[in-house]
Amino acid sequence: MEQNGRSSWGSNIGFLLAAIGSAVGLGNIWGFPHKMGKSGGFTFLIVYLFLAVFVGLIVMVSELAIGRKTKLSPIDAYKQVTKKFKWLGWAATIAPFLIMSFYTVLGGYVMQYMALNLAELSFGITAGGMDSFVAILVNPFGAVVFTILFIIICMVIVQGGVSGGIEKFNKIGMPALFVMLLVIIVRSLTLPYASEGLKFMFVPGYSVAKGYISEAPDIISVLGTAGGQMFFSLSLAMGAILTYGSYLSKEENLVKNSVIIVAADTLIALLAGFAVIPAAISYNLQNGVAPGDMMIGGPKLLFVTLQDVFANMGKIGPLFGVIFYALVLIAAISSAISLMETVGAHWIDKDLAKGEKDTRKKIISIVSLLILVEAVVVAWDGLGSNGIHPAALLGIQGSVPDVLADWLDFMDTWSEYLLMPLGAMCMALMIGWESGPDLVLDEVAHGDPSNAFKAFYKFCVKFIVPIVMAFVLAGSLKGACGGSAVMWYIICGVALVFFWVFAAVGNKKEVAE
């Protein structure tokens, strides 16, 4: 569908499914369950929910409002609403571009695992998790081929347009994902020792008491971990939600939509926990894997532990493997297409402003090609396996910080750990202290917010969001670069005060003039 030549959603439910599709991704399936278990189970959940309401919801409403108000993609949208923070638009376009460099590679790995389980199903063979993962990592050619395939799938969907491609895919993909997730949950919860997995996830301190992890993180670290996870999982501060909001009709209620997206994403993250953690714990306990090894996070949880789980389920295992990796693939595609759309939307808008219509296909092809170039580097690197990682190129040996360990971590650090929290902090400061919260609230008024929501929004956007984001930024930087926590808190505290003053000073004078 189009309005004045610009794309728009076919329906509000179509928009909701697309936004939930953007939010539900690899972050939900491997990030949330593992971080929850590692960071105090129920305590983490409470902190996460608190942040989702006081920070996530506020940023979600803000992005949707700025998008819908300007009807522009991030670069031009921020140009229109701020004098001092115009660079936020570029940050919200560069970050998704960088994320695509590794998200597409991971999508390619998921496709390889799906193919592997299909082959197992057909030929009755089984492949262990570690052997399979090592084989994939040291085969750069295979990784590149599947990455290209993943990019082509995303490209075709995005070229189909906002309602004709993205909305259509999510309308089928999201319900399918949900059903497949339920199938895996039933299997996971009926495995031996499944209750241990639930205790790992929910009982505070259980993971430490049982020796699954060595020590409980302090509350500040939990805040940083939960905040970073929440932002990545909700696709916030990376332009995607703003861009999706720019295609939304004026009639729709932004607050209600935001609540639905946040709630659905959190629910799917919890359900993913039920699907993944009991199965992983069960496998480890049955096979006598040392408790410390029990919880492997990140790519290994998905590609080593879970492949072992399926390989050890007997004949039926590969079938569950196919279902599981298919659902992960849908989750990865629905997120990746939002990132690709965000990067391309700027140039599509530019052409439209010049009166050139129908350039979407051409622009998305170029964007895909550029993504391919950076993704090939990450795919070839194989998580640092093939000797071309940043530390190797710099001639650094021994233990290196995450940011230099491999190209995936390098790209992730710049996008997820730097641009995202810095962007969210500055966006809140821009709304709270430069333009004033009415920039957002006037737009939300099309959906008629209550006075209580207005007061809540103003307080959160001015104080809670910037302060929490400074903590998240400090936690992320410490995690990625090493060094002392105190040093990063001081650096981020100074950055917060600097941008706060930068946002607030001079505005009153302008008004007085």
By the criterion CB under 6 A, which residues form the site for ligand PFF?
A: 22-23, 25-28, 96, 99, 232-233, 235, 238, 240, 335, 338-339
Beta carbon of residue 23, minimum distance to ligand PFF (angstroms, whole number): 5
The angle at the Cα of 317, spanning 314 to 319, to the nearest 5 degrees, equals 140
Beta carbon of residue 473, minimum distance to ligand PFF (angstroms, whole number): 16
The nearer residue to ligand PFF, 92 or 127, going by C-beta atoms, is 92
What 188-192 contacts at long range (C-beta under 8 Å, 24+ apart), as own/partner pairs, is 188/274, 188/275, 188/276, 188/278, 188/279, 188/282, 189/274, 189/278, 191/278, 191/279, 191/282, 191/283, 192/282, 192/285, 192/286
Whole-angstrom distance, CA of residue 367 vs CA of residue 348: 11
Q: Where are the alpha helices (DSSP H) in 27-70?
A: 32-38, 42-51, 57-70
The nearer residue to ligand PFF, 61 or 313, going by C-beta atoms, is 61
The nearer residue to ligand PFF, 56 or 437, going by C-beta atoms, is 56
Beta carbon of residue 331, minimum distance to ligand PFF (angstroms, whole number): 7
The nearer residue to ligand PFF, 191 or 422, going by C-beta atoms, is 422
Sign of CA pseudo-dihedral 172, 174, 178, 183: positive
Whole-angstrom distance, CA of residue 68 vs CA of residue 3: 13
Beta carbon of residue 266, minimum distance to ligand PFF (angstroms, whole number): 11
What Å distances lie between residue 74 and 242, 324, 396, 469, CA to CA?
7, 34, 38, 20
Beta carbon of residue 9, minimum distance to ligand PFF (angstroms, whole number): 17
Beta carbon of residue 303, minimum distance to ligand PFF (angstroms, whole number): 15
The nearer residue to ligand PFF, 28 or 104, going by C-beta atoms, is 28
Beta carbon of residue 223, minimum distance to ligand PFF (angstroms, whole number): 19
Distance of CA 236 to the CA centre of its chain: 8
Q: Where are the alpha helices (DSSP H) in 124-218?
A: 129-137, 140-159, 168-189, 194-202, 206-209
Q: What is the DSSP letter of 2?
A: E
Whole-angstrom distance, CA of residue 254 vs CA of residue 68: 9
The nearer residue to ligand PFF, 240 or 276, going by C-beta atoms, is 240
Of residues 500, 223, 167, 504, the one with CA closest to residue 341:
167
Mutual angle of helices 57-70 and 74-81, in 10-degree steps: 90
Tokens of 380: 């070839």
Beta carbon of residue 232, minimum distance to ligand PFF (angstroms, whole number): 5
The nearer residue to ligand PFF, 294 or 378, going by C-beta atoms, is 378
The nearer residue to ligand PFF, 97 or 133, going by C-beta atoms, is 97
125: how many CB neighbours lie within 10 A of its CB?
A: 11
Beta carbon of residue 27, minimum distance to ligand PFF (angstroms, whole number): 2
- Amino acid at position 486, single letter: V
The nearer residue to ligand PFF, 239 or 317, going by C-beta atoms, is 239
